[in-house]
Amino acid sequence: MGTPVPPPYECPAGARDTADARILPRQSPNAKDVSRPVDRTAPATRTQQTIRPVRILLRRLAAAGTGGAASTVTQEGAADLVYHAYPVDVHVCGTEARGARQSVLSEEPRRVTGWRMGVRNRWVAHAIPDPHARVGRINDLRNRVHKYSHSPEWLDVRCLAKCYITQQDRWLRRKPACRRGSAQAGTLVTSGALIDVLAQHQPGDTAVETGEQRTSYKQLLDLARAIREQITRSPVGPGPVVVADDPGAGACATIAATQALGRAYVPLSASHPAARIQQILAAAEPALIVQSDRTATRLADVLPDRYPLLTISRQMGNLSWARSPGPTAGRASPIGSGIAYVMFTSGTTGRPKGVPVRAESLTAYLDVATKRFGVRPGDRASHFFELTFDLSVHDIFVTLLGGGTLVVIPAEQRMLPARFLREKEISHWFSVPSAADSLHRVGALRPGVFPRLRQTLFCGEPLRWPVAEAWQTAAPNSTVINLYGPTEATIAISFFVLPPHRPRSNDIYGIVPIGQVFEGQRGEIFISPETGEQPNSRGELWLSGSQVISGYLDPGDGRNAFASDPDGVSWYRTGDAVERGADGLLHFVGRIDHQLKVSGYRVEPAEIEDTIHRSFPGCRSVVILCDRGKRRGLVAAIVSGEGNTPTASAIRDACATGLPSYMVPAHVVELDSWPVNANGKIDRAAVRRQVEDEIAPGMVAQQGAKS
Amino acid sequence: MKLRSELEIRETVRRLVSERVDEVPPDDSASLLATTSLDSLGVVGLLVAIEEEFDVSIDFVTVDPVSLLTISGLTGHLSTLAEQI
C-alpha cells in the first residue's frame, strides 16, 4: 500500500484576511535574477509581491511584541523567515507549490513541516494541529523539495506562500489591554509605579471588593499614601515590610506603598503556626510589620516585640502604631534594595525557603501579563490566592494596574467557587486547577454556566485536559490559558492558550501543555548525562532570563538549584520533568525529585519528615501524596523504632505546630518496614503504592495502635 | 433519592465522614475543614460520595458550599432534597 497523497490544498479560512507573502526560495544557478531594484510606483511585479508582504508580516510581528522578528530577510533569505518567540505558520497554498508540497508530504507522513527557533539558534520541529495547515520554514521546504525532486525545474520552484498566524499567535497579536484604555498606555510599568497608576483610574470605581465592603480607587489611593507617609515620617529602619494581613484593600494598599518606597514586601499568613511565622521573621528581619485589626487578634501573641507594628483599622484609613518604631536598630535584613517581594516556600532543609524576586523581574512579568492577560476598567477579576502564594501578586498588580475590580474570594468559597463566580459576575478568573477539578468532580461545570467569564488563567498545578475542556464548555466566552512557572521565575513564565478542539499532538498523559516560554525568557530542556537520552527528549526544564531569580535569600538553600552554562548564563533548574511535543510546545510530565503540590502549594516532603523526626526521634517517616481512594491527601507513612509508636493525632499535632495547614498530613499509616530499592534506599514509589493499596480505615494508625 | 428520615441521613453522613477521617467531630455544627483532617479536596470527595450514596445531585452552582461544611448542614440540605422528592 502506497503512501497516501494528501488532498488538494485549500487555503485555510483563517489565512484569508492576512498578508499574502510570496516567498522566493534560494535561487539555483539557472534561476533568473530577481534582485533588481524595486520601482514602488509601478504595478507590483512578482518579485515585489514576494518581498513586500514579508516585510509587512515582520512589521506586524514586531508590532505585536513577539520579541522581534528574526533573521534577515533578503530575496534569497526570505526563506529564513523566522522569529524567536512564537511560531509563525507559513502556509503554502499557491498552485506552484502544490506539487512541491505533495512531494514533501508524501515523504513526511507526520507532516512535520513547521519549525520554530529554539534557544541558541537551534531549530525545533513544530507541527500544526490544523489539518489544512502545511506549515514550514520555507528554506526547509525548499531543501526537501530539492531532496525529493528528480526534476530540474524544481530547482527553480517558487512557492506562493500565505503567511498567517496560528490561533495562539492571533490571540497574542490582539491589542494589549494596556493600550485599550487603562492608564499606562504602552509604557513599561514598574511595580513601584502602582501607586501612581491608582491615581489615574476613575476615583469612584471599585478597586477592591471583599464581601460587602467595596473600596474605591480613591480610598485605596488615600490609604496607600497614608501608609507611605507613616513609614516615611517614622524612624523606621531600612528593610522589608511584612504584610500580615488577609487579602483585601488593606493588603493592596500596603503593597502599593512598599513598592513606591522601593522596599520589598514579605507576606505573612496569620493562619500559619507561630513557629513558622517566627522563622520567617527571623529570616527576613523586616523594618516593620503591617497588620489589620482582623489579623491583630490572631497575631497578638505571635509577633516578637522588637518589630514596629502598624495596624490598619477596619474603617480603612485609620492607621495606628500598635508598637512604635524605636531608635534601636535591629539586625540588618538580608533583603537588600531592588527586591520587590520575598515569598517563603517549603524547603528541603526543614525550614521555609525565602525566594527574593527582584523589582526588575516583576516588571518583566507585568509587562507581559498586562499586555496579554490584562484587565480593563469595568472588568471584575478574582482574587483567589492567599498573599503567601506568589500568584496573588498577579491578582493584585494586573487588576489594579488595569483599573479593574479585584474581587476577594472568601477562603471557604475557594473549594467550590461556582456560586461565587456567578453571583459576583467575575469576568477574569485565575486559580489553581484544583478549583476547576473540584467543580468538575461534582458536576458543576455545566455548559454555559459561566457566561460572563472572558478570561481564565490556571497555574500552580498540572491542568488535566478533561477539566480544561469542561471549564471551556462551562465558560464558552472565555479564553482559557494554562500558565506555568515556579516562584523562582516570577509568577509564570510560559503559557498555552486552549484551542477550540483538543489536538491529538497536544495530549501527553492527558495534561494540557505548559506551552511556550514568554518572550524575552528562555527555557531549555536539560538531559542529564547520567540518565542519557530519554524518550521524547524528556529532561529537566531549566529557565533563564530577567524573570528568573539568581539565588535564594539564604545562599545555603538550594545550592544545586542554579547552574551556569559555558557562556556564563545563569539557569534555574526547576526540577520539573518536561517533554517537547511534536507541536513544539513544552509538556509537563512530572518531577525529577520528591516535591509535591497540594492545591497549588509547593510541599517538600523532607520538611514534614524533618518535623516528625524532630518531634519523635525514634520514628522515621516518608510523606507521600495519595490521590486514590477515600483517603486522599498527604499521608505520612511511618516506621517506628524502639519504644512507643506515636499516635496519628500526635503526629498531626506536631506538624500543625510548625507547618501550614496544607502541609499537615491528612493521614498516618504505619508500616512494618520500608521497601527499599537496589541501592538499599527507601523506595518512595513502593511506599506510595503500598500505602495506596492498603490505605483503608483499619490500616490507619489509631491511638496507640502498635504499643 | 430514597426516602430516609433525618436521623438516618445524619448517621449515613457521619459514616461517610468517618471513612475519611480518624475522628468524627462530636459537634455536628463544627466545620469539617477546621476540626478534621479533611482538606478542601477531601471535602469535595466526601460530597461526591454523599451524592452517590443518596443518589442525589447537589446543585453547587446555587448552593453555598459553606453550608455543606458541617454534618448538620449536610444533613439539613439532604433532608430538604428528600422532602422535595
CA dihedral sign of residues A161, A166, A172, A173: positive
Which alpha helices (H) appear in A234-301, and where do they start and end? 249-260, 274-284, 293-299
Neighbour-count burial of A337, counting CB atoms closer than 10 A to its CB (0-12 exposed, 13-18 middle, 19+ buried) = exposed
pLDDT at A161 over 50: no
From the list A602, A365, A605, the residue with the least C-alpha distance to A491 is: A365
Contact A89, A166 (CB under 8 A): yes
On whether any CB of chain B is under 8 Å from the CB of A633, the answer is yes
Backbone φ and ψ for A583, nearest 5 degrees, come out as -85, 0
All three cell numbers of A551: 539565588
For residue B26 the three cell numbers come to 462530636
Number of other CB atoms surrounding residue A143 within 10 Å: 15
Say if residue A556's pLDDT is above 80: yes
What is the share, in percent, of chain A residues with pLDDT greater than 70?
68
B-chain residues near A598 (CB < 8 A): 39
| Spatial distance between the Cα atoms of A346 and A501, rounded to a whole number of angstroms | 37
Residue in A630, A649, A652, A664 to test binding to B, most B beta-carbons within 10 Å: A630
Laid out side by side, the sheet with A494-497 consists of A213-216, A206-210, A405-408, A380-383, A428-431, A455-458, A479-484, A494-497, A516-517
pLDDT beyond 60 at A323:
yes
Least confidently predicted of A330-334, A413-417, A430-434? A330-334
A241, A253 Cβ separation under 8 angstroms: no
Q: Which helix (H) or strand (E) holds A669?
A: strand A667-670
CATH of the domain at B26: 1.10.1200.10
Residue B5 φ then ψ, to 5°: -75, 165
Rounded Cα distance, A451 and A453, in Å? 6
**Banded pLDDT at A351 (limits 50, 70, 90):** confident
Q: What is the C-alpha to C-alpha distance for residues A401 and A183, in angstroms, rounded to an integer?
A: 8
Q: Are the CB atoms for A83 and A68 separated by under 8 Å?
A: yes
Residue A271 carries which DSSP code? T
In whole angstroms, what is the distance from residue A148 CA to residue A626 CA? 53
Per-residue pLDDT tens over the stretch A443-460: 999 999 999 999 999 999
The three-class DSSP label of residue A611 is helix
Closest CA to A95 of A161, A184, A153: A161
pLDDT at site A530: 64
Range of the domain at B77: 6-84
Element (DSSP H or E) covering residue A197 = helix A194-200
Q: Are A654 and A623 in contact (CB under 8 A)?
A: no
> For residue B61, which of A627, A451, A296 has the smallest C-alpha distance?
A451
B41 inside 8 A of chain A by CB: yes
Chain A residues closer than 8 Å to B66 by CB: 410, 412-413
Does residue B1 fall inside a structural domain? no
A110, three cell numbers: 507526520
Look at chain B and report how many structural domains it folds into: 1
User: DSSP per residue over A559-618, as a string?
Assistant: GGGEEE-TT--EEEEEEEEEEE-TTS-EEEEEESSS-EEETTEEE-HHHHHHHHHHHSTT
- pLDDT greater than 50 at residue A6: no
Cell of A553: 535569600
Specify which of A374-383, A499-508, A509-518, B46-55 reaches the highest per-range mean pLDDT: A374-383
Q: Does B30 touch chain A (CB under 8 A)?
A: no
| Distance of residue A114 Cα from the nearest chain B Cα, in angstroms | 42
Distance from CA of B74 to the nearest CA of A (A): 15
- Strand-pairing partners, residue A580, are A586
Task: Let me know the angle formed at the C-alpha of A242 by A240 and A245, rounded to the nearest 5 degrees.
Answer: 155
pLDDT of residue A494: 96
Return the pLDDT at B84. Answer: 76
pLDDT, tens digit (0-9, with 9 covering 90-100), for A261-319:
999 999 999 999 999 999 999 999 999 999 998 899 889 889 988 899 999 987 766 89
pTM tops 0.80, yes or no: no
- Give the one of B19, B22, B65 whose C-beta lies nearest to A415's C-beta: B65
Q: At residue B84, what are phi and psi to the nearest 5 degrees?
A: -75, -20
Answer yes or no: are the C-beta atoms of A581 and A508 closer than 8 Å.
Answer: yes
d(Cα A172, Cα A83) in Å, to the nearest integer? 14
Distance (Å) from the alpha carbon of B63 to chain A's nearest alpha carbon: 7
**Which residues of A are less than 8 Å from B44 in CB distance?**
415-416, 438, 441-442
Q: Is the pLDDT of residue A649 over 90?
A: no
Q: Which amino acid is at A578?
A: V
Looking at residues A24-51, what average pLDDT do you find?
Answer: 36
Q: Across the interface, do B42 and A664 touch by the CB < 8 Å criterion?
A: no
In this prediction, residues A331-356 reach a mean pLDDT of 89
Smallest Cβ–Cβ distance between B45 and the set A418, A632, A664 belongs to A632
In a domain, B38, yes or no: yes
Residue A469 has a pLDDT of 94
Mutate to test the interface with B, among A271, A415, A423 (most CBs of B within 10 A): A415
- Residues of chain B found within 8 Å of residue A650, distances taken between Cβ atoms: none
CB contact under 8 A, A661 and B39: yes
Q: Does pLDDT of A171 surpass 80?
A: no
What is the average pLDDT across A178-182? 39
- Residue B47, chain A, CB below 8 Å: the answer is yes
Q: Give the span between the Cα atoms of A667 and A622, in whole angstroms.
A: 12
Q: Is A700 on the interface with B (CB under 8 A)?
A: yes
Q: Give pLDDT tens digits for A362-397.
A: 999 999 999 899 999 999 999 999 999 999 999 999
Look at A86 and A178; give whichever has higher pLDDT. A178
DSSP state of A33: P
Matching residue, cell 512604635: A324
Element (H, E) at A587: strand A586-591
Query: A18-32, A319-333, A664-678: which range is least confident on average?
Result: A18-32
CA gap A662, A415 in Å, rounded: 13
Amino acid letter for position A210: T
Q: Identify the band that residue A341 occupies on the pLDDT scale cut at 50, 70 and 90.
A: very high
CA distance A465 to chain B (A): 19
**Res. A573: pLDDT tops 60:** yes
d(CA A275, CA A302): 8
A620 has which bridge partners?
A639
Residue at B71 is within a domain: yes
Residue predicted with more confidence, A54 or A191: A191
State the greatest distance between any 2 C-alpha atoms of chain B, in Å, as a whole number: 34
Within 10 angstroms of residue A72's Cβ, the number of other Cβ atoms is: 8
- The closest of A22, A20, A72 to A47, measured between CA atoms, is A22
Q: What is the mean pLDDT of residues A122-130?
A: 30
Q: Which of A374, A392, A380, A466 is nearest to A422 (CA)?
A: A380
The whole-chain average pLDDT of chain A stands at 74
Nearest chain B CA: its distance from A577 CA (Å): 25
Provide the pLDDT for residue A532: 59
Using CB atoms, pick whichever of B51, B61, B66 lies closest to residue A418. Answer: B61
Residue A35 confidence (pLDDT): 35
Which residue in the set A414, A438, A631 is minimally distant from B20, CB to CB?
A631
- CA–CA distance, A253 with A178 (Å, rounded to integer): 21
Q: Is residue B43 part of a domain?
A: yes
Burial of A593 from C-beta contacts in 10 A (0-12 / 13-18 / 19+): middle
For residue A265 the three cell numbers come to 514586601
Average pLDDT over residues A336-347: 91
Q: Minimal Cα–Cα distance from A242 to chain B, Å?
A: 26
Cell of A647: 499516635
Q: Quick one: pLDDT at residue B40? A: 83
Please tell me the predicted confidence (pLDDT) of residue A405.
97
Q: What percent of chain A clears pLDDT 90, i.e. is strictly above it? A: 42
Listed ranges A142-146, A448-452, A644-648; the one with the highest mean pLDDT: A448-452
Q: Give the per-residue pLDDT at A614.
A: 87
Question: Residue A231: in which H helix or E strand, if any?
Answer: helix A217-233
Looking at residue A27, what is its pLDDT?
32
Contact list in B for residue A449 (CB cut-off 8 A) is: 61
Interface test with A, best of B14, B39, B70 (most A CBs within 10 A): B39
Ordered domains of chain A (ranges, CATH): 13-172 (no CATH), 604-699 (3.30.300.30)
- Beta carbons of B64 and A419 less than 8 Å apart: yes
pLDDT band at A8 (very low <50, low <70, confident <90, very high): very low
* Overall average pLDDT of the B43-56 stretch: 90
- Please compute the mean of the pLDDT values over residues A535-563 and round it to a whole number: 87
> How many Cα atoms sit within 13 Å of A81 on the Cβ side?
36
Q: Tell me how far apart the alpha carbons of residues A179 and A185 are, in angstroms, rounded to a whole number.
A: 5
Q: Which residue in A347, A281, A269 sits closest to A308, CA to CA?
A: A281
Q: Verify whether the Cβ–Cβ distance B22 to A413 is below 8 Å.
A: no
At A54, the pLDDT band (50, 70, 90 cuts) reads very low
Strand A114-117 to A123-126 pairing: antiparallel
Amino acid at position A291, single letter: Q
Mean pLDDT of A663-677: 87
Res. A658: pLDDT tops 70 = yes
- Angle (CA) A218-A221-A227 rounded to 5° is 140
Q: Which of A281, A311, A316 is nearest to A298 (CA)?
A: A311
C-alpha cell at position A51? 518581498
Q: Is residue B18 part of a domain?
A: yes
Grid cell of A64 as nine digits? 505585536
A474 CB neighbours in chain B (<8 A) are none
Residues B6-20 pLDDT 10s: 899 999 999 999 988
Residue A138 pLDDT greater than 70, yes or no: no
Is the sign of the CA dihedral A694, A632, B60, A511 positive or negative?
A: negative
Pairing of strands A159-164, A20-23: antiparallel
